[in-house]
Amino acid sequence: MPLVPSHVASLQPYVPGKPIEEVEREYGVSDVAKLASNENALGPSPLGMAAARAVCDRVHLYPDGSAFYLKKALSERFDVPIEEILVGNGSNELIELLVRTFALEGEEVLTSAQSFIAYKLAAHAHGRRLVEAPMKERFHYDLEALAAHLSPRTKVVFLANPDNPTGTWFLEKELVHFLGRVSRDTLVVLDEAYVEFVEAPGFQDSMALRKQHPNLVVLRTFSKIYGLAGLRLGYAFARPELVAFLDRVRAPFNVNMVAQAAGAAALGDGAHVALSRELVRLERPFLEKGLRELGATVVPSQANFVLADFPGRPGMALFEALLHEAVVVRPVAGYGFPTGQRITVGTHAENVKALAALRRVLAR
C-alpha cells in the first residue's frame, strides 16, 4: 500500500521568497533589500500594530472563532452583509478551502497558465484536475481562451486581477463578457490581492458585479497594502449559502486573535493605505525606468511589483548573483518565464540599491 495518494506523492512544494535572515546567514551580507514577496515596503499599518500589541496579553485565550469584530469592520468598510464574509489564514487558505469545499471528484479547476501558483497547488493537493488556458502575448490573461476551456466539469475558476507574477490586468468589460459565458453552477473566484494599487481606467468594480453574479467570489488580503503578511489574514465576499458551506469546512480557529485585532484596525488606517499607494505610484515608474535602462523588458503593472525579463540571463543565476549583493528578488522560471524576475517595488533607497546591484551584476 502506498503511504499517500498519488496526487500527494506528485505534489511540488511551494517555493517562498527567501527570508532576510536566511540571506544574511548564507551570504554573509547585511542590510538586505527583500523585494521578493510583494510585501509593503513601508511596513505594517501603525494602527494595526498598536491593536496587535494590545491583545497580546490575552493570547492564552482562544480567539473568537466567528471573528465577529473583524467581520463587522469589513462589513462596514465595504458595505457587505456579515453573512457574505469569510475570513481566512491568508487568502491562501481561502483558495484551498474553495477547492476543498466545492470541487467534487471528477470536476475541474480552471485558471490561466503562468498565473498565481496557489491555484494549481490547491487543485493538486485535493487531487482535482487543473485546466490552464494559455496567456495572450505572453503576459496577459486571455479571457476568451479561458471561456473556451470551460466545460460542464468546470467547478471553480480562479482569476487574478491584477495578476501575479505578471502584474498585468484585464478590463471589466472582458470580465463581464466572461461571466456571461459561465454556468451559474461554476464559481468564479476573482482574486483581488492587489486591487488597492490599481489606477487603470476600466478596472472592475467587483462589489457591483457581485450583485449581478451570485457565482462570483471576491478574494482579498491584508498581506499587501495593509502590510500584515506575517499575521496571515485574508477575506472573501460570497453569497451567504457559499459562506455557510466554507464556514463548516474551515478549521474552527483559522484566524488568530492578533490577526483579527490588527486587521480590524488596519482597515481604518486610511493614512497608511494612502501612503503605501503613493509610494508605489511614484516608485514603480522609477524602478521600471531603471530596469529598462539596464536592458530589461518590463511588463506593464498595476500592482506593487513588476515582472522584468532579462534576455539571455537565466533566472536562477541572476537571482543568486543578486543575493551576494544583498538584494532578494523572485526568479519566475517555474512560471514559464526562464529569464524573468519579479521585483517588488521597495522604498526609494531599496529600489536604488536593487538597480545599482543589477548594474554591477549585469556588467560582469
- Tell the smallest beta-carbon distance from residue 259 to ligand PLP (Å): 11
Whether 71 contacts 363, CB under 8 Å: no
Which SS3 state, helix, strand or coil, does residue 110 take?
strand
- Tell the smallest beta-carbon distance from residue 115 to ligand PLP (Å): 8
Please, which residue, 38 or 154, has the CB nearer to ligand PLP?
Answer: 38
Distance CA 155, CA 153 (A): 6
- # of chain residues touching ligand PLP (CB under 6 A): 14
Distance CA 172, CA 175 (A): 5
Of the ranges 53-61, 220-228, 238-246, 282-290, which one interacts with ligand PLP (CB under 6 A)?
A: 220-228
Binding residues for ligand PLP restricted to 221-250, rule: CB under 6 A? 221, 223-224, 229, 234
- Tell the smallest beta-carbon distance from residue 220 to ligand PLP (Å): 8
**Residues 6+ positions from 266 with CB-CB distance below 8 Å:** 44, 45, 47, 48, 51, 222, 226, 227, 228, 272
- Tell the smallest beta-carbon distance from residue 223 to ligand PLP (Å): 3
Please, which residue, 164 or 168, has the CB nearer to ligand PLP?
Answer: 164
Please, which residue, 233 or 326, has the CB nearer to ligand PLP?
Answer: 233
- Tell the smallest beta-carbon distance from residue 164 to ligand PLP (Å): 3
- Tell the smallest beta-carbon distance from residue 200 to ligand PLP (Å): 17
Binding residues for ligand PLP restricted to 27-56, rule: CB under 6 A? 38
Binding residues for ligand PLP restricted to 159-198, rule: CB under 6 A? 160, 164, 191, 193
Whether 125 contacts 11, CB under 8 Å: yes
Q: Which of 178, 171, 170 is nearest to 140 (CA)?
A: 170
User: How are the residues of the chain apportioned to helix, strand and coil, as percentages rounded to the nearest 5?
Assistant: 45, 15, 40
Which SS3 state, helix, strand or coil, does residue 33 take?
strand
- Tell the smallest beta-carbon distance from residue 30 to ligand PLP (Å): 27
- Where is 342: in which H helix or E strand? strand 340-344
The answer to whether 260 contacts ligand PLP (rule: CB under 6 A) is no
- Tell the smallest beta-carbon distance from residue 293 to ligand PLP (Å): 27
Please, which residue, 38 or 114, has the CB nearer to ligand PLP?
Answer: 38
Binding residues for ligand PLP restricted to 106-165, rule: CB under 6 A? 116, 160, 164
Of the ranges 217-225, 243-251, 329-337, 343-351, which one interacts with ligand PLP (CB under 6 A)?
A: 217-225
Name beta bridge partners: 48: none
Please, which residue, 50 or 229, has the CB nearer to ligand PLP?
Answer: 229
Q: β-strand 187-191 against 216-221: which pairing, if any? A: parallel
Residue nearest to ligand PLP (CB): 90
Residue type for position 91: S
Buried/exposed code over 226-252 (b: 16+ C-beta within 10 A; e: otherwise): bbbbebbbbbbbbbeebbebbeeebee
Contact residues for ligand PLP, defined by CB under 6 A: 38, 90-92, 116, 160, 164, 191, 193, 221, 223-224, 229, 234
